[in-house]
Amino acid sequence: MTQTSDNVTWLTQEAYDQLKAELEHLSGPARTEIAMKIAAAREEGDLRENGGYHAAKEEQGKQELRVRQLTQLLEAAKVGEAPAATGVVAPGMVVTIAFDGDPDDTLDFLLASREYASSDIETYSPQSPLGTGVNGKKIGEDAEYELPNGKKAKVRILEAKPYKA
């Protein structure tokens, strides 16, 4: 679970451990593996036309970006419990909304950062238009957010409960 507030990211112990393990893997074994791929590709000759070399360098760049992202996230992280069931929408909660107040046109989603996206439930970032619109609203309240085409959409908060992995 994540709750972001003034650059602090709240994580459960399980989420913190998972992200820390990913960082350790990317900083250690994965870094060595990519260096070996680059060295092997370099030995193949002319680097200007060496597809394997360029692919390995691109993979290295993506991996190093992820290392920086994880490092920043974990440095700002506070380990704690998931938000309490207060009836107020907050990051780390599963939210049920009704579009235009229609109780038959609903959506359940997890309000959390992309690190917690799962195949079990759709995930929206608190910084997304929908996330920004519903964050802090109470059950029964209406929220409004901007669609990609610039129009506004209205939803009603039907439920907000802590996410259980």
Nearest to 112 by CA among 146, 144, 73: 73
Average pLDDT over the chain, rounded to an integer: 83
3-class secondary structure, 65: helix
Determine if the pTM surpasses 0.85.
no
3-class secondary structure, 21: helix
Residue 164 vs residues 18, 79, 110, 119: alpha-carbon distances, Å: 16, 16, 10, 14
Residue 115, pLDDT score: 65
Quick one: three-class SS letters along 117-142? CCCCCCEECCCCHHHHHHCCCECCCE
pLDDT at 2 over 50: no
Least confident piece of the model among 55-64, 65-74, 132-141 = 65-74
| 142-152 pLDDT, tens digit each | 999 998 899 99
Residue 9, pLDDT score: 64
Nearest to 116 by CA among 21, 18, 24, 30: 18
Arithmetic mean of pLDDT, 36-55? 85
